[in-house]
Amino acid sequence: MNTPARLSLYGLGLVAAFGAAFLVAGAVVPDSAVEARAEATEEGHGGHDAAASAPEGEAAAASLPGLSIAEGGYQLSPVSVPHELGEEGELSFSILDEHGEALREYTEEHEKELHLIVVRNDGAEFRHVHPEIDGEGTWSLPWSWKEAGSYRIFADFIPGDAEEGLTLTQSVNIGGEFTPTHGHDDVREAKAGDFDVRLDGDLYVGGGSTLTLEVSRDGEKVTEIQPYLGAFGHLVALREGDLAYLHVHPEGAEPKEGELSGPTVDFATEAPTAGRYLLYFDFQVGDEVQTAAFVLTTSDGEAPEGGHDDGEDAH
C-alpha cells in the first residue's frame, strides 16, 4: 500500500541510524556511489578545528544554508574531536550567542532539538547523529573516525527564541593516509543493506520537480517503510564542491503512528545552480535505518510544467 510520504531535510538535511542508547551509526556510501564522487577538495593531513569558508562568486550568491560558521547572531564554537583514527573519544561543541554565551534553549524539530551531520569533503563518508546537551550548553556524543580526510560538520537547529532554523558549519581535518574518491558519473541505483533503491526524476535550475525513491528487496517492492523522526524518509542533498545544502521540500502528509508506506517516497526539489549534487536517502524498515547514496547532475532545459506540489520546508 503506497501512502504519501512526508519527507524532511533539516535545512537540507540529515540522517543516520541509531541502535542502542546513542549509537553513532556511520552510513558509509556504497561503492557504486563512491566511484562517482568528485575528488576531495582537501586531503586533510593534520590540523583539527578549522572554520569552513564560503565560496566566492556566483556560488556564494546563492545564499544556501551550510556555508557559514556564524549566522543570525549565533556561531558554532570550535568542534572538539578525537585526533587519531580509531581513537575512542568525544565530539563536542556549543552554539554561541552574540555575547559568546552557550545557547541552552532550543525548539524541537523532527523530534530532536539539534541535528548533526558529518560528511567527508568528497562525500564518501556520511553520518547524521543526535548529540545530547548538558547543563552548560555543550553538545556531545561518543565519537571515533574510521577514515582520514577533511570533514564538514553541520549543526542544524532552531534557537529557542527564533521562528527560523539555522545551519552552521566548520571543518575538521583528520590526518592519515587515504585516497580521495573521484569520478563524474551520475548514480541512480544504490544498495542499502539488503535493499535496492532507485532514484527517478531530475534536478532543474530555477524550476521545481519531484525526485522519487523506490525501495525493493530481492526483486519485491517494499511496502513496510516505517516513520523515522516524524517522516517516512529523509533526504540530504549537498552541492558538490562547497557542500551547500540544496533546498528540498517534503511531499505528502505526516505519517500517523503505526502507519506504513512504500515502495516510493517523494521529494519536491529545486536546484539553485547548475552542477552535481550528492544525495543521501534514509529510510527505516524493521526498526533499522538504511542509507542509500546517489549522485545527480542538473538537467538542461526547463523543469516540467507544473513542477511539483508545494510542501512545507524543513525550517
The verdict on residue 26 lying in a domain is: no
Return d(Cα 37, Cα 254) in angstroms, integer: 33
Residue 142: the pLDDT is: 97
Per-residue pLDDT at 15: 31
CA dist., res. 140 & res. 299, Å (int): 40
> Are 98 and 167 in the same domain?
yes
Output the CA angle 37-40-46, nearest 5 degrees: 145
Tell me the sheet residues that pair with 172.
49, 151
Looking at the structure, tell me whether residues 110 and 151 fall in a common domain.
yes
Is 204 found in the same domain as 111?
Answer: no
- Domain with residue 74: its CATH number is 2.60.40.10
Question: The whole model's pTM is what?
Answer: 0.75
| DSSP class of 80 | B
pLDDT on residue 82 = 95
Domain that holds residue 168: 31-174
Residue 114 lies in a domain: yes
Q: Are residues 47 and 108 in the same domain?
A: yes
Residues of the chain scoring pLDDT < 70: 1-63, 182-184, 246-250, 305-315
Same domain, 52 and 168: yes
Q: How many whole angstroms separate alpha carbon 194 and alpha carbon 153?
A: 29
In a domain, 134, yes or no: yes
Q: Distance (Å, rounded) from C-alpha 165 to C-alpha 173?
A: 27
**What CATH number does residue 253 fall under?**
2.60.40.1220
Q: What was the pLDDT predicted at 231? A: 87
**Which grid cell sits at 284?**
527505516
Which residues lie across from 198 on neighbouring strands? Answer: 189, 214
Cell triple for 142: 561518543
18 inside domain: no
Q: Cβ atoms within 10 A of the Cβ of 240, count?
A: 19
Look at residue 272 in the predicted model and tell me its pLDDT.
83
Is 306 contained in some domain? no
pLDDT at 29: 46
Q: How far apart are CA 66 and CA 168, in angstroms?
A: 6
Q: What are the two backbone dihedrals, phi and then psi, of residue 31, each rounded to the nearest 5 degrees? A: -55, -40
Instruction: For residue 37, tell me if it sits in a domain.
Output: yes
For residue 170, being part of any structural domain is answered with yes
Count of all residues that appear for the chain in the document: 315
Q: Are residues 35 and 169 in the same domain?
A: yes
HSE of 68, CA atoms in CB hemisphere, 13 A: 15
Verify that 160 and 208 share a domain, yes or no.
no
pLDDT digits (tens, 9 = 90+) for 18-43: 222 222 333 344 444 444 443 433 43
Answer with the one of 118, 148, 174 that is the final residue of a domain.
174
Q: Are residues 241 and 218 in the same domain?
A: yes
Q: Domain count of the chain?
A: 2
Same domain, 161 and 239: no
How far CA 157 is from CA of 10, 14, 98, 139, 277, in Å, comes to 8, 11, 16, 12, 23
CB-based contacts of 93, cutoff 8 Å, min separation 6: 76, 77, 78, 79, 80, 138, 139, 140, 153, 155
CA atoms within 13 A on the CB side of 121: 21
The reported pLDDT for the residue numbered 230 is 83
- Would you state the pLDDT for residue 63? 65
